């Protein structure tokens, strides 16, 4: 019966005669951690990238309607009382989404909470429109992902939530 070789800790130790001894640290565990080899850091980086790119792309699309006609996703119960049309309201939505993506890029802990709150509002809006319950359910998954990003950011972004307001002076 053939044996299967699995890596062990001794397989990851640098060989004193190999390139690591000559000054290369590319194969050391700390260098791999810096490059994001740790699964939780990878999850953080993936979620952070997604919550930077998606809100900015979808926010900008509110001005072009290239991906979809966004006006259909605004509940009449919310848009009718507004002093502007649903189309004009979507411009405001677009600006908010772009800002949310930028905040995630600058401060993931704070931005993830902002995105989660925004998604909660979107879910309520979608539940007011018959036939959009599947989209609302998808957005529940996005909301949970934003909460997961915030939790991961609490580990990988040590700044407090109020960092932009209360910076420590050296």
Range name among 20-24, 144-148, 162-166 with the lowest pLDDT average: 20-24
Cβ count within 10 A of residue 40: 11
Domain that holds residue 29: 25-156
- Looking at residue 43, what is its pLDDT? 95
Q: Is 11 part of a structural domain of the chain? A: no
45 has a pLDDT exceeding 90: yes
Q: Is 119 part of a structural domain of the chain? A: yes
- The SS3 call for residue 36 is coil
Q: How many domains does the chain have?
A: 1
Question: How many angstroms separate the CA atoms of 16 and 14, rounded?
Answer: 6
Q: Is 68 part of a structural domain of the chain? A: yes
The predicted-structure confidence for 62-117, as pLDDT tens digits, reads as follows: 999 999 999 999 999 999 999 999 999 999 999 999 999 999 999 999 999 999 99
Q: Is 19 part of a structural domain of the chain? A: no
Is the CA virtual torsion 114, 53, 91, 143 positive or negative? negative
Q: Is 97 part of a structural domain of the chain? A: yes
């Amino acid at each position: 019966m053939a044996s299967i070789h699995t890596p062990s800790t001794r397989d990851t130790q640098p060989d004193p005669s190999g390139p690591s001894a000559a000054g290369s640290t590319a194969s050391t565990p700390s260098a791999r951690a810096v490059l994001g080899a740790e699964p939780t850091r990878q999850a953080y980086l993936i979620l952070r990238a997604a919550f930077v790119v998606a809100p900015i792309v979808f926010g900008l699309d509110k001005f072009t309607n290239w991906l979809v006609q966004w006006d259909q996703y605004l509940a009449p119960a919310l848009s009718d009382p507004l002093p502007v049309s649903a189309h004009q309201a979507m411009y405001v939505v677009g600006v908010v989404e772009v800002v949310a993506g930028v905040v995630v890029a600058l401060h993931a802990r704070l931005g993830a909470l902002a995105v989660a709150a925004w998604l909660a509002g979107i879910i309520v809006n979608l539940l007011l429109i018959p036939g959009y319950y599947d989209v609302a359910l998808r957005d529940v998954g996005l909301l949970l992902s934003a909460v997961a990003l915030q939790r991961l950011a609490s580990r990988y972004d040590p700044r407090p939530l109020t960092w932009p307001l209360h910076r420590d002076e050296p």
